[in-house]
Structure 1
């Protein structure tokens, strides 16, 4: 009989009503476990994690494109300044040429060659300037697109966070109610029995199980005849353990003893 006793050799006793209350306590603890599982596995949690990763990646792309836009903007300003500088020089040389101030044939020829060179230089610089402008436009378009994607992701993230918080608020309220009910139930159970129950629950997930139709509802195994006879012979206030799964075994009117 020792292996059926609550302490395996140490006889623990409790009023049958207190033992039956363990099943209510177990039911409430199951609800609390389910609520915690729901809280930990909310679909919003997975989506939030996914969105945060996407936002990080997209924001990295945004930073790269923003850097490109800044670099190309500086390059365009530089190209604009170079073109303007050469145009100013060409204008000055054209004014000298047209003023008739240059009389020396060699100086005149030199001025004309310089004007030709300036025209080629302006053409080259304008081509480079156009290329920079096209790259800048592409980068700006890309940046605007990525920024739009980023804004959409952040908006969805805010929605998911709000939905998560609302769901958690409901679950936490339900858990608070269940915890209060648990406390009320536990008040009617002796401390040593609660201690044993909590220890077994930590080991097996459930600390107590009902005996119905000669079957332990914790491990779902049917007890053999010898164990059933010992259980039937035990005093009602003896706290017993299932010989198969070691949970506290609570006798019920449907035990089949």
Structure 2
């Protein structure tokens, strides 16, 4: 393929833009915020599971306390009825004696229930403390996630602006170059990891960084200035200048 030497040199400008775009894409993929957000997502998921377990523990204790309160209330109602009958004092002596025994039994039962309720209330206070602690950690992790997302979005916006600028600069440059030269450049760039055109400097290919053999140098010296020469090793386009060392 033949192309004006000036157009060949302008391929280096096109390559510089494409290299910058590739670097921006790499920055986008490897932003530390991505890994940080992944870690925070796992942390938040674990904390949410922990919060659910803590909430279930509090709810279970609330349910047990409510049940004991109902039992205590039933005992109190029964005691009030028995006390009213004892206050009246009417009826057989045996029945009044049985009421007194029942009152004593009810008092013991009420004490047992109230002691059990007090113990559950202490457990509930501890469980609530655990729940509050988990919810605080959740809130802190969410705030951190929001901050990291803000930084990520700011960085992405900056990368996006740079990409827009580079794409806007590339478009007229590529349009002004010969179509067949750009097509060759794009094919090589796709197959060679993004680098398609490099400077030939000091007898060394700027693509693969290998020194040219004597035969390669002789071949390139013999080529017309408008001949598009390629490296025998990496097959990239080598752009010749006064610094090529031929």
TM-score under structure 2 length normalisation: 0.95
Counterparts of 1:37 and 1:101, CA distance in 2: 96
| Equivalent residue in structure 1 for 2:85, among 89, 96, 115 | 96
Partner in structure 1 of residue 134 of structure 2: 146
**Residue 245 of structure 2 aligns to a residue in which SS?**
coil
Partner in structure 2 of residue 156 of structure 1: 144
Does the 8 A contact of 2:89 with 2:96 survive in 1?
no
Which runs of no fewer than 5 residues in structure 2 stay unpaired? none
Deviating 4+ runs (over 6 angstroms): none
Which runs of no fewer than 5 residues in structure 1 stay unpaired? 1-11
| Equivalent residue in structure 2 for 1:129, among 106, 117, 125 | 117
Counterparts of 1:165 and 1:215, CA distance in 2: 42
Q: Shift in Å at residue 109 of structure 1?
A: 2.0
Partner in structure 1 of residue 51 of structure 2: 62
RMSD: 1.3
Partner in structure 1 of residue 27 of structure 2: 38
Q: Shift in Å at residue 91 of structure 1?
A: 2.2
**Residue 198 of structure 2 aligns to a residue in which SS?**
strand
Aligned pairs (5 A) from 1:197-216 = 197-205=185-193, 206-216=195-205
Q: Shift in Å at residue 246 of structure 1?
A: 0.8
Partner in structure 2 of residue 4 of structure 1: none
Considering Cα pairs closer than 8 Å and 6+ residues apart, tell me whether 1 or 2 has the greater RCO: 1
Count of residues in correspondence between the two structures: 245
Partner in structure 1 of residue 5 of structure 2: 16
Counterparts of 1:13 and 1:120, CA distance in 2: 108
Matched, 1:51 2:46: no
Q: Shift in Å at residue 40 of structure 1?
A: 1.4
